[in-house]
Amino acid sequence: MRMAVKEFGSRLPTTHAGAVCGLALGVLVASIHAAPPSPKPDANTSREAFLQVYKVFTSPRCQNCHPAGDSPLQGDDSHVHLQNVGRGKDGHGVYGMRCDTCHQTTNLPGEHMPPGNSKWSLPAPEHKMVFVGRSPAELCRQLKDPKQTGGRSLQQLLEHVSTDDLVGWAWGPGTGRTPPPLSRSDTAMQMKIWIGGGAACPQ
């Protein structure tokens, strides 16, 4: 098209040639914008997407920091933390057993050595965000309840999962730990589909 326009335009006065080029460009842009938008996810697609997110949230890297009790879990088998660590009033531990006593700003080298992040903690007791033992339907409803998510909306939860550096640790957990079954970007994509389809919950 560009060659045809150039050849045709060369036979016209400069102003006419510019007009022809502008018209051709306008037609091209209009054709791009005329492409039909992607269909909005329906409820069934939304539910299927959440089941993918559920696999991530109930993997050891996520659920170990979202226990039903007040002690974090450890390992790929999600056993109770061996040092009798407690959640504490702020989620960062109790007295001399604060999380940052052992958990530094980065993973310590070596297999099964203490993982690290500057914000290492459990959720605060006011909104524990329990993942362990929740069915897909239960976890879905919980994520949609701002009273249980620290006041976060679904969009804020998506941002939390896709950008927060502590959450991101799950995909770089150090030697001896299995990362979640989906990549971080795939997890965020499935969350977007879930939310876009009305955040439908599995039955």
Of the ranges 30-39, 92-101, 132-141, which one carries the lowest mean pLDDT score? 30-39
The average pLDDT across 84-105 equals 90
Say yes or no to pLDDT of 114 above 90. yes
Q: Tell me what the pLDDT averaged over the chain comes to.
A: 86
- Nearest Cα to Cα of residue 120 among 90, 143, 146: 90
Residue 118, pLDDT score: 93
- Res. 4 pLDDT band, cuts 50 70 90: very low
> Around 99, how many Cα atoms within 13 Å sit in the side-chain half-sphere?
23
pLDDT (tens digit per residue) in 70-90: 999 999 999 999 888 999 999
Q: What percentage of the chain reaches a pLDDT higher than 70?
A: 81
106 to each of 46, 90, 96, how far by Cα in Å?
Answer: 35, 21, 20
Domain residue extents for the chain: 2-33, 43-196
- Res. 12 pLDDT band, cuts 50 70 90: very low
pLDDT (tens digit per residue) in 13-33: 444 444 444 444 454 445 445
